[in-house]
Chain A
Amino acid sequence: MTPKSAPPRAAAREAAFPPDVADIPPVLDEVELVQLLTPEGERVPHPVYDRYLADVDDETLRSLYRDLVLVRRVDVEATALQRQGELGIWASLLGQEAAQVGSGRALLPQDYAFPTYREHGVAWCRGVDPLALLGLFRGATNGGWDPREHGFHLYTIVIGSQTLHATGYAMGIAMDGAVGDADGAATIAYFGDGASSQGDVNEAFVWAAVYNAPVVFFCQNNQWAISEPLERQTRIPLYQRARGFGFPGVRVDGNDVLATLAVTRKALTDARTGQGPTLVEAFTYRMGAHTTSDDPTRYRLSSDLEAWKLKDPIERVKAHLARGGHADAEFFASVDADADVLAARVRTGCLEMPDPGPLEIFEAVYADPTVQISQQRQGFSTYLDGFAEESA
């Protein structure tokens, strides 16, 4: 068969790929964003979500501010420690403090969070010592806290895998009959815009939907998957994907700690009372690099960063507290002092963190250890002892 017309010139074919999806008209609804605190710190009423903040008094507001400041301070300290060679790598949460503290503070003790490797703010809310997080990035452990004690799973590095764990755990909650009222339990699965392209995340959506599992899918859309912009992952707002799977999706201002708290509380309440999953898209911005190994100046404009700095998640709470007379200068000074004390403790703890002994390689491979590993451990131990004798 001969072509009816000449094939297009190679240059034309190249130009057609990859397409600029920004030129393609959107096919779905107007995008809605839940915001309860403007970047200027003004509290905006909301017909649905205000009721989820009924208990948020001045003291709660101040404690939210305190959490935001402390987790940012830990993050800054950890970045500095990496620069000084004390951590192998660090994944900064800079800019995502409100998304993490707002959602983390929405959790109840019986809930279980399944983080990525960037949820330092959620870890803080779940009572995990920041030093335990640093142990992972220092290379001293693969996860130095007890997930069951905190209802906070180990960090998951492979993108999106934990969404299925959260869904399975939520299925177990339902199988245990621990859903149906306000005392029910729920899980929350953290992931990012990049992970939304993973098969596991989409499979988790399917499973959660068909089993009506009490899980909240909490996507921090920080606009960047390392160097790839959101447009490389999706053509529609991520929260709108939920509809195709059969459950609600909502986009919240991820730099607004009050909105994130309220939206996550509603999603968790729905889950624990038996109404199934929700996809929350926390619209935010990764103000730092992907990790300390990354160089965002190679792929994004500094003007974007400057624009997002005006929406800083901490500044708006501070403005709100100050303007409304909910906190005074003494309070802000005390939070800064607490942050300095915490940072000093994190720094000292990191520097003093002992390296594990070489034989710890062989620990906890199996619940019921194998002879092979015991023999390898013994052989390696004898080998190491040889050096000790030589140097003695």
Chain B
Amino acid sequence: MTTMTLGKALNESLRSAMEADPKVVVMGEDVGRLGGVFRITDGLQKDFGEARVIDTPLSESGIIGTAIGLAMRGYRPVCEIQFDGFVYPGFDQIVSQLAKMHYRSAGRLLMPITIRIPFGGGIGAVEHHSESPEAYFAHTAGLKVVACSNPADGFHMLRQAIASDDPVVFFEPKRRYWEKADVDTDAVAGPLHEARVLRPGTDATLLAYGPMVKVALEAATAAEADGRSLEVVDLRSLAPIDWPTVFASVRRTGRCVVVHEAARSHGVGAELAATITEECFYALEAPVLRVTGFDTPYPPSRLEEAYLPDLDRVLDTVDRVLEI
């Protein structure tokens, strides 16, 4: 058991994946000598060489498109997209090529490609550096989409994503990169696409993922002082969603609030609310409510505190869901 930041846990995960499988290659902009703009690939090129930690041209479609060719050649590429808002030049390759290749080939071709994307706001960045584009990918058949929320998951989930024979879009909550926790790198991890109940409760379920898990846990702690027992579920996987864990929690509490940074409409929360309503209708005491970013572009960073769901907004919505 070692205490490390999320950033370090991801770095260790990449290192152990590369040690375990010589076909794992890391590719992206500035991932080599610099170690990535967030230093997630720090030291890897020094230890594994330029052929396995590849500084690429500044070309996101090129990163994904060549990773597809490398996968066809038997490699297992881990692509770094520098920031959430920079993934769109590679969107066509991800959606039209990567996601569909296994299907188009009737299962003959595997696409064991991991696309790491630092996502979400809260670091005071300029525009295009704080977005939450996960719903685009979760909506695309053929992709698997996960989001880690803490160092231990960062380590184990990334290892599992790299080991997956399906393409995985791996979202990393960039504002949590520097937060520390214990990581047991020798632990046997549970399934990648499994949700986790991080805190049991009886009055309402908070569903969150990525950067909002911490906010949800803090809200549950604060609510406890008011005598309210909130259950917090870290979804971890957005495609597929671990519905049995979600349904079981909602059936226990009868109430549910979804928390995410991404804009509200057509988001992951909408899918959660619809399916929970369909499957847990008779257990629900109230409609599923959402605490999300607004249906606006991400605002200038001086306004991001107002935009991002925080403790007070979550508690305000918890009040509403409990009053219904």
Contacts and interface: CB of A to CB of B under 8 A. Distances in A.
Contacts of A199: 61, 89
Contacts of B59: 203, 206-207
B68 A165 contact: yes
Contact of B65 (A141, A168, A364, A368): A168
Interface residues of A, number: 43
Nearest to B106: A364
Nearest to A185: B73
A161 B92 contact: yes
B57 A168 contact: no
Nearest to A156: B97
B123 interface: no
A164 B108 contact: no
Given A169-B73, A368-B165, A164 B66 contact: yes
Given A158-B97, A170-B69, 11 more contacts: A156-B97, A161-B65, A161-B92, A164-B61, A168-B67, A168-B72, A175-B70, A210-B57, A363-B106, A364-B107, A368-B166
Interface residues of B, number: 46
A210 B56 CA distance: 9
26 contacts: A142-B100, A144-B106, A147-B105, A147-B109, A156-B97, A164-B61, A164-B62, A164-B66, A164-B93, A165-B65, A167-B66, A168-B70, A168-B71, A171-B69, A172-B69, A199-B89, A200-B62, A200-B65, A200-B93, A203-B57, A204-B62, A206-B57, A364-B107, A370-B239, A372-B241, A372-B243
A173 interface: yes
A368 to B, nearest CB: 6
Given A164-B66, A203-B62, A366 B105 contact: no
A330 interface: no
Contacts of A141: 106
A366 B69 contact: no
Nearest to A203: B62
B33 interface: no
A163 B92 CA distance: 14
A385 interface: no
B240 interface: yes
B102 interface: yes
B96 interface: yes
A13 interface: no
Interface of A: 112, 141-144, 146-148, 153-154, 156, 158, 161, 163-173, 175-176, 187, 199-200, 203-204, 206-207, 210, 363-368, 370-372
Interface of B: 25, 51, 56-57, 59, 61-62, 64-75, 89, 92-93, 96-97, 100-110, 141-142, 144, 164-166, 193, 239-241, 243
Nearest to B110: A367
Given A200-B93, A365-B141, A164 B65 contact: yes
Contacts of B56: 207
Contacts of A146: 105, 108
Given A169-B73, A206-B57, A161 B97 contact: yes
A163 B68 CA distance: 11
A203 B61 contact: yes
B280 to A, nearest CB: 16
A171 B72 CA distance: 11
A103 to B, nearest CB: 19
Contacts of A147: 72, 105, 108-109
Contacts of A166: 69
Contacts of B239: 370
Given A168-B69, A169-B70, A172-B74, A143 B57 contact: no
Contacts of B66: 164-165, 167-168, 171, 207
Given A168-B66, A172-B74, A161 B96 contact: yes
B75 A175 contact: yes
B240 A371 contact: yes
Nearest to B71: A168
Contact of A164 (B25, B68, B75, B144): B68
B292 to A, nearest CB: 23
Nearest to B89: A199
A137 to B, nearest CB: 14
Contact of A200 (B61, B110, B141, B241): B61
B156 to A, nearest CB: 17
B230 to A, nearest CB: 27
A190 to B, nearest CB: 14
Contact of A172 (B61, B70, B142): B70
Contacts of A203: 57, 59, 61-62, 65
Contact of A161 (B93, B144, B193): B93
Nearest to B96: A158
B135 to A, nearest CB: 16
Nearest to B193: A370
B93 A169 contact: no
Contacts of B164: 367-368
A52 B240 CA distance: 54
Nearest to A207: B62
Contacts of B165: 367-368
Contacts of A169: 69-70, 72-73
Contacts of A371: 240, 243
A148 B100 CA distance: 17
B58 to A, nearest CB: 9
A158 B106 CA distance: 19
B77 to A, nearest CB: 8
A142 B74 CA distance: 22
Contacts of B241: 372
A194 to B, nearest CB: 16
B56 to A, nearest CB: 8
Contacts of B97: 156, 158, 161, 165
Contacts of A187: 69
Q: Which 6 A-B pairs have the closest CB atoms?
A: A168-B69, A164-B65, A172-B73, A168-B66, A364-B107, A169-B69
